Structure 1
Amino acid sequence: MSNKVEIFAHRGISGLYPENTMAAFKAAAEIGAHGIELDVQISQDGELVIIHDERIERTTNGVGYVKDLTLNRLKQYDAGSWFHVDFQNERIPTLNEVLEWVKTLSYKLIVNIELKNDRIKYENLEEKVVRLIHELNLDQQCIISSFNRDSLKKIYEIDQKIETALLFQGVPTDVLNIAKNLHVQALHCEAVFAQSILGRKASLAGYPMRVYTINTLEDFHSLENTCASVVMTDFPQMFLSF
């Protein structure tokens, strides 16, 4: 692992704050995380909203699928109390709200936007995300990642300059061919891949490896002899001093 390994806050500082909320993202910026990771879906009325699950029960006091609820309805639900009463009235943010906030920061915070469309197909998700990134002039600060290969291919067709990353699990033997065919610039992988021979080959082939989700010092140190360039974690404060 490079001495210059960067730390991305997974769904914000989700170990200490309700995930994918402005509170979690702002806390990450306050401690100087190099980047934040967040998940994007589309509301019933076509708005880009930040939430991980396709249904809202786990992280709000509401019920239903994101795709079946308007932004106005989604904004009515409490997205913080499930984590702790101190975060009562946190709301589901939009991607626009997060990116507008990023532009106000005094340093270049990287935003890893994961397209959550591996289970539900969201019409024009790729176009909407790319358009917003362009409108806010954040092309150099955004990474778009997904498990959905068709989606990554579509991003490349829309804009070949925005960085894309392939998300995957385990150690797939064909991952380098897949990455090449999709024209992605990076691999978002588990520690087991970074530690493997294939991981070393990927690094030699020029693919940065961003490893998710590392939450213990033991797991962090297990990456010391790898070529991981980024560690994604729910507890970025644990690793920023290394």
Structure 2
Amino acid sequence: METKIFGHRGAAGSHPENTMISFKEAERVGADGIELDIQMTKDGVIVVIHDETVNRTTDGKGWIKDLTYKELKKLDASFKFKEQYGFCSIPTLEEVLQWASKNNLLVNVELKTGLVTYKGIEEKTIEMIHKYGLEDRVILSSFNHYSMVKCRQLSSSIEIALLFMEGLYEPWDYAKRVGANSIHPYHHVVQKEFIEESQRNGISVRPFTVNDEKKMKQLIDYKCAAIITDFPEKAVKLVK
């Protein structure tokens, strides 16, 4: 099995994270998929941004849950790449899925439901995936496993992945118990046996965020299902 490459927040190592320009770059360099994060605005629009606030990645301040989409749309999300790329808006999930429906990329949507409880975010996300016919190409993931169980209850067909940072005992068993198809562990906690045993049990392993070339090579050799990286171009070359 060839390891797939997912561009973390697009191509976050060289482009403004979680923006259309970043996702398009991941596609351009030949990534198999993209990973993105979602939150929900005050008026119920699902937007693509990593943090619960706009403070780090935009020129604005405040919590996403307290801002309307109209207010968010005015913010510049070019982050540390402003000099290179100019103004970049925060995309909606709909905008990304609409674009993805016209290419062949896999889309890993991470629900950021750990700090803020966004009422109805799971239902709205799944509804939108169906709207664009992307059930076979979207993977839903989260550190909030309650959120993933809810997604599984809402859809029996969409792939569910569990994110975690620490060593988890027999994660393949746990994943099966909660109805997940895959696990997305922090790369530091991944061992070869862990990958082999999980995948033998039908649970795909996609470690994040793998930016070191030596580590990329190692995980490709271990034949994990995919790696999630800020530098998809580098990883694609290694797979080839």
Is the 2:172–2:203 Cα contact (8 Å) retained in structure 1? no
Residue 187 of structure 2 is aligned to residue 228 of structure 1? no
**Residue 207 (structure 1) aligns with:** 203
Q: What corresponds to 2:71 in structure 1?
A: 73
The corresponding residue for 1:240 is 236
Question: Which 5+ residue runs of structure 2 have no aligned equivalent?
Answer: none
Aligned to 1:125: 121
Paired residue type of 1:80: S
Match of residue 52 from structure 1: 50
My pick for the range that moved more, 190-199 or 221-230, is 190-199
1:192 Cα shift? 3.7
> Are the counterparts in 2 of residues 13 and 28 from structure 1 also a CA contact under 8 Å?
yes
- CA shift digits 1:40-86 (9 cap, x unpaired): 11000000000000011110000000110000000011111532322
- Superposition map of 1:59-98 within 5 A: 59-98=57-96
Aligned-pair identity (%): 38
Does residue 13 in structure 1 map to residue 11 in structure 2? Answer: yes
Instruction: Give the secondary-structure state (helix, strand or coil) at the position aligned to 2:81.
Output: coil
Contact 2:3–2:220 under 8 Å retained in 1: no
Q: Which has the higher helix share?
A: 2
Deviations 1:148-205 (A, max 9, x none): 1110110111111111101111321152332122100011112344315333321211
Equivalent in the alignment of 1:136: 132
Checking the alignment, whether the CA contact within 8 Å between 1:61 and 1:82 is kept in structure 2 is no
TM-score (norm 2): 0.95
Structure 2 residue aligned with 1:175: 171
For structure 1, the 5+ residue unaligned runs are: none
Q: Is the 8 A contact 2:3 2:223 kept in 1?
A: no
Judge which range, 83-92 or 138-147, deviates more. 83-92
SS in 2 for 1:145: strand
Other structure's SS at 2:167 match: coil
* 1:147 maps to 2:143: yes
CA contact 1:76–1:91 (8 Å) conserved in 2: yes
Q: What residue identity is the alignment partner of 1:95?
A: L
Distance 2:14 2:220 in 1: 26
Moved over 6 A (4+): none
Pairing of 1:184-203 with structure 2 (within 5 A) = 184-203=180-199
For 1:144 and 1:80, the matched residues in 2 are separated by 25
| TM-score, normalization by structure 1 | 0.94
Whether the 8 Å contact between 1:81 and 1:88 is mirrored in structure 2 is: no
Moved more, 199-208 or 61-70: 199-208
* Structure 2 residue matching 1:127: 3-state secondary structure: helix
RMSD: 1.4
